Each structure stands twice: as structure tokens, then as C-alpha cells.
Structure 1
Amino acid sequence: MGIDEFHIPSELLDRMKEMGCIIDWAPQEDVLAQRAIGAFFTHSGWNSTMESLVEGVPMICWPHSYDQQVNSRFSGEVWKVGIDIKDTQDRLIVEKVVRDAMSMKRDLYTQSASAWKILAKESISKTGVSSKSFARLVDDIRAFSSSMKHSSIGQSYVDCNNEGAEFVEATVDATLSSFLQDSQYEDLDEFFPCSHLWSKSTLREKSEKVIPLAVQVNHFECGGVAVAASLSHKIADGYNTIDVQEHQRTIDGAYICTSMCRYPVYDIDFEWGKPVRASIAGKVGKNSFLLMDTASGDGIEVLVCLRKEDMAIFQSDPELLAFC
């Protein structure tokens, strides 16, 4: 929702015009990194909580729903990095906690938040817990066997017998630059191993011939390389709730929008250098939108898959074209 959809009392605008401004969006991480920030008034969503901890900013927590209640309690009562308002809407209490965070107990919260900032930075170092957890994940992936098993009660499981993932190498009769210039999006399908594992491994599939994980390395004439990985739905899934519940009900007119923005796909390096292009496979579902950062990091690419008649309208819409 944009700020234009809400009515802001004129009295508030008059009081704030000499003290600051109200806008509909701001780069939250950049704002929290500003040294002038004394505290962060937050709904305690997990992303906001992590970003505040990473920057060492004390929080005034006003949770509403979902995991926010738990995050707020931990921030205020366990980590001691802020104050939990505890669902109250009493303006006197709000005033008190703001004063505590900004003056009366500022040193206490700032000291604790600074300590958590150090811990957060250490966790993503080469010897940190995040790096170790990722290393364990890699070890688990390496252990995926080349077959699926089924228990006597019909449950599927991965038989981790250290046989490893399926590995395929292929050659491409073209240079990487010519492929990137002349190819269509669907041509990417040729780079993926085993004809897309997910298309043959639905939740109902009982065959033990399904390969859990396969990787294909494609070598171009110029020495360029394209690496593609294909996962079975039985071991990993990026599908949203609409797809998961597809066998339970049908939703007419649903449009699926998936964002991979800010995923560090262009920072991946297999010792061949960072990629010049990253993408999912060419086969995507109809009525879907996929957002990804550009290689330069200063823009967004959108993959659009619509019916032919809808695409004709989409491609000629002046409002949408203004973003191109």
C-alpha cells in the first residue's frame, strides 16, 4: 500500500514538518545503519529483527501477529535489546517506552544491542555458526543417494548411502557470448540434467528411480561454462502455498509472483569466476512472474509467463512499459 491510500491528520503533518518527513518507503537496512538512529520502532517481523540486530540498534517492539509476538518477547526479555510494548495501545505507555529507549535506559539497551551486533557479524565469518551450518548443508547434499526409498507405510525418504549426486557433463556447439545473444529463454532447458527432476517427481510419485539431485556442467566452445542443478520435489521445494495445495482445491484466476531478489546468485563462484547470467529453468508455470536482480545489481529482471492473449495486452501496456 502506498502512503496516498491513507489519511494522515493535518495536525500531525504540521507538527512534523520542521522535525522530519513521512514517506511510504525507505531502504530499511540503510536507515538502520545510520549512526544517528537511536532506536527502531518495529512490528518485530523476523527480517526487521535481524536487520536491527546486525546494525546494533535497540528496538521498541509493537507486535501484531504471526511470529512477531515471539520475536518481540525475545528482543525485550531474553536478548535485552529493546522494549516489548506487549500489545498495548495506551499512548502513555508508548510515550514511556520511547523515553526509556531514547534516554532513561538507553545505555543498557545500546550496550546489549552492540554485543548482539558483534555476535551477528561473527556468525557469518568463515568460522561462524552460519558458515558452519551451510557447510553441514553441503555435506548433506553430497550424501544424497541416486535412488528414493519408500517405507512400509508409504512415506518417501532419501537413502543417504554416500553414492553422491548424479553428475553430467555436456558440450555446447556455440560460444557463450553467441548463446546469450541469440538464444530464447526456453533454450536454457537443454542445460538442465535429467529432463527436470521436478517434472517427474510429484508428491504422489512412488517410483524409486527418481533421482533426488543432479548437476550438469555445460562446456562452450570458447571455454565458457554453464552449471545447472535440478532437484526433486521430494527433497527440496521452492513452491508456494498455492502449488502445495493444488491437489486439494482449484483457485481460478490465480497469479503466482516469486521474487529471488537479493538472493546472492551472482556471487556464486565455483572457481570459474562469478556468473554473467543466472536464471531458473525455461519451463515455468502459466500466469506466473519471477523477479531476479540483474547481474550489475542495479536493476530487476522479470520473467513473465501469461496466456498468449494476455501477453499481447501486457506487452503494450504503457504504464508497465514505463518501468522497462
Structure 2
Amino acid sequence: MIIENVTGFNEFFLAGLSDISELQCFLFVFFLCIYMITLLTNVAIIIVTWLSPNLHTPMYFFLANFSFLEICYVSSTTPKMLSNILAEHKTISYSACLAQMYCFLLLGGTECYMLAAMAYDRYNAICHPLLYSVILTKRTCILLISGSWIIGAVNALIHTALTFTLPFCSNKINHFFCDIPPLLKLACTNTWANEMTVFLISGSVIVGSFILTMISYVKIISAILNIQLNSGRKKTFSTCASHFAVVMIFYGSGIFMYFRPKSSYSMNQDRLIAVMYTIIAPLLNPFIYTFRNSDVKAAVHKLMGQIIITQKL
């Protein structure tokens, strides 16, 4: 993707997370720890899923792919944010800003439909258990994952191209990464077309996947209410409630960020919301989706036991 630089700027200045100098070291350590935990937990999920034959099912295929996506997603913004926290001049080159926006939008759009695919997987497991392996074949799973990436790539390409063909009057971005709303505020021209494109195309991606996800959860909740045993109902509902919480954090923050009038933007508020869905949500997802799962716990214990035995030998 080649987009001509029509602004004359070679780099942008990022405002970062906070202007308070005394907080910089604390913020660096705090978010570095979160970033490392997020990477380690998601890598652990991929390794455990790969090495455990009993986890070679559609559910864990989606979870492993989701973990890979989360590693890429959090890495699209956090490393640059960390380097700029302690930097005297918080800058990012024009080409790096373009690449960061594209990757962030690609991964965000992909996550929307991957969450929908995971909800569809749980719907079939709970509502159609006898047909689960027939419906969720390997080919179907690959098509769902591939479709999610394709939708994310097309969405990101459109928005990145439209944003970076705008002439910018300033190169000071009031945010900690390159995103659509703060860059539109720098434009020297009317951005109505860009805002409508965000509303229509991103609206289709976010709202469309949200509706698909909600349809699955409504049917799941309906099936749970028909479970006779209270213990089975409680266990299934607890798992789905955790998943639903992740979905609401991700979609709620995304809708709040991208579907407001330009005049209502508050960048200090937006930075806090952005931290929630770019850094905090990827940290919580492995624990909510996987580490509360008894099958994963058993697989981890088994692998740890094998490692200990191998070391003794």
C-alpha cells in the first residue's frame, strides 16, 4: 500500500498518556508489566493448545488464533507507546504512523469477526452438541478465521488510505498512537466524507459483527435456561457471562470511540478509553477465555509434569 505524503511532514509528535513528568516512570513500569504478562499468557495458550492433543478441537483452534491476534493487536501500539513514555521527544515517522494505523485497524476489525466466530462456536457446542463436529469442520473453522482477516484488511485499507491522503495542518497528535479521530482533527480540509466512511464502513464491521455475536449469545442464554440441572446451568452461564463481559468491553469502547460527532471528542477521555481496549482487554482475555477452563488447566498440569519428568531423566 503506497500513499503519497501530501502534508510535507516527515514525522508526527504524539502527546502520550500523560503530561505529568512524575508519572512517566510509573506508567512505563506499569504498562511494561501488563504488556509482558499479555504476551506470556497468550504465547502459553498457543503452546499448550499446540502440544495437547485433547485440545485439538474447534473451540481451542479459535482460542489459539485469538491469542495470536491479541499478541499482534497489543504489539501494534504498546511498544511505541512505551518507548515514547521515557523519550524526551515523543515522535513517530510518517510511514510508521501510517503502518501503525493500518495494523491497528486490521487487527481491530479482525477481532470483531473472530469474536463473532467464537460465539458461533459456543452456540453450536451448547445448542447443537450432537452436530457440533459436523457443523464446525476444519474447513469451516479455517474459512471463518480467514474471512475475519480479510474483512479486517479491507476495512483497514480503506480508512488508512482515506486518512493519509488528507492534508494535515499540524503534526501534533493528541493521542498515544495513530488513530483515525485524532488524525482527522489535524486535517486542513473538510473531513465529512471521512467521518461518514468511518460511520458507514466501520459501522458495518462493528455493528454487523456485534449483531451476529449477540444472536449467538441470545440463543445460548435461551438454551441455558432450558437446562434442568442447576449445577450445569450455573457452570455454563458463568462461562458465557465471562465471554460476554469481554465482548461488551471491546464493542462498547469501539462504538464510543468511532460513532460520535467530531465536535464531542475529548482526547483526554479518549486516551483512557483507548487504554481499555488496546491494553487492558488483551490482558484480561486469556484469563477469561482460557485459564478458567478446566481442560486447559488439566493440559497445563500434564505438560508441566512431563517437563519435570524429562528434566529428572
TM-score, length-normalised on structure 1? 0.24
Q: Which has the higher strand share?
A: 1
Higher relative contact order, structure no. (Cα contacts within 8 Å, ≥ 6 residues apart): 2
Q: Which has the larger radius of gyration?
A: 1
Q: Which has the higher helix share?
A: 2
